[in-house]
Chains A and B, each alone.
Chain A
Amino acid sequence: MGKENANKEEVKKAKKEARALKKEEKIHKQYEKLQEASKFKKWRNARPFWGATLTVLAGLMILYIPLHLYAIAFIPGSLVFVGFLFGGLTLIIGILSFFFPQFSTIFGIFTLFLSVLSVMGALGGFLIGTLVGIVAGSLCIAWQEETVVLKKDGTEWNKEVVVNHTNQNNPTLQA
């Protein structure tokens, strides 16, 4: 019984390692692609570009309805003002995502939250804004900056991946 358990754990461990290796290979492939890429592609790669762009688009779509109803936006009890707030915040978050990629996860969560809530007060840009916002938020959450550790000559690569600038604190990388 104990032997079986040990075997199972070994298989689990092997699977985990295989997954990690696959992930590292993907990152390395991306790095190789980037070596020959243009300046814009490199800039795009350093931030959640599509997530941020779609967030800006979703913000504009959500703002469309309140902008058309601005005449009544400040009538007491009107929810149009809330629509302005949701759309405006989504737009600002989208712009900030371009400049502060390290906060992409938080920006993504806020985008998701705001675009879903924008159904109230702005009808979520006829729901299209909400749908684009959900995709944009998910892209921002899913984006990560990974560090590929290379030997100085650049030919071989070490299979250690560090997420989001943590290499300063990682003793294995400070050799």
Chain B
Amino acid sequence: MSKMDGAKVGKTWKKKFLVAFMSGFLALGSLIAVFGFTGTVFALPLGGIGDFYVEFDELEGTNFQLLPQIGETGNSDAEPMVRNKMDTAKIKNLHIYKDIKLPTGNWIRIHIKASGDTTITGLIQDARFIDANLSFDELAIKEKNTEAYNENWTQSASTIRITDAKIVTDYLFQTTVSLSGAKISIESIEEPEMMGQ
């Protein structure tokens, strides 16, 4: 046998790739299936897409806090709005929709509807316009002599009840959200809704 010389070659094996790829998808599928069974999504943010509308029949929340906020909307980088924070919220008949312009010039509306109860923990919402009936328990309004605009004026309540609400929202975050009877649908519309502009 003559003297040998070794040369290194890197190679990606198709069979191994497919096995790993399928296992990855299987793991992802099982994780989504678990969420599907419980209807729970963790840390769901919704923002940076401009105005969207939130409607519901009734909301009951605990540890409510309202703060002034300046945030980004679909048309502006800094728009005055209010930030609502709640530890827990239980919503009846939640309906979220967003109008989107297609490249063709037509408008479509994406609906997310939950016919059952929606339970949320760790809700943060930036709203530009609120049209609703509100009632509070232990409402406190506090002013503070500070330069920080978001601490200058705050409103807090141990519980809040909102009925027949329509809220123009620009940012929404939930630590956990569980939507029962959720339906997502798309319809084409003539022109977008311009509420509170």
Contacts and interface: CB of A to CB of B under 8 A. Distances in A.
Interface of A: 26-27, 30-31, 34, 45-48, 50-51, 65, 68-69, 72, 75, 77-80, 82-83, 101, 108, 112-113, 115-117, 119-123, 130, 133-135, 137-139, 141-152, 154, 158, 162, 167, 173, 175
Contact of A139 (B12, B45, B47, B124): B12
Nearest to A136: B24
6 contacts: A27-B9, A117-B31, A119-B31, A144-B16, A150-B4, A158-B4
Contact of A69 (B10, B16, B45): B45
B37 interface: no
A2 to B, nearest CB: 33
User: Which label, helix, strand, loop or mixed, suits the secondary structure of the A interface?
Assistant: helix
B110 to A, nearest CB: 15
Interface residues of B, number: 39
B143 interface: no
B75 interface: no
Given A68-B48, A134-B21, A122 B4 contact: no
Contact of B9 (A69, A75, A123, A145): A145
Contact of A145 (B10, B32, B42): B10
Interface in B1-51: 1-14, 16-18, 20-21, 23-25, 27-28, 31-32, 35, 42-45, 47-48
Contacts of A173: 4, 6
A150 B5 contact: yes
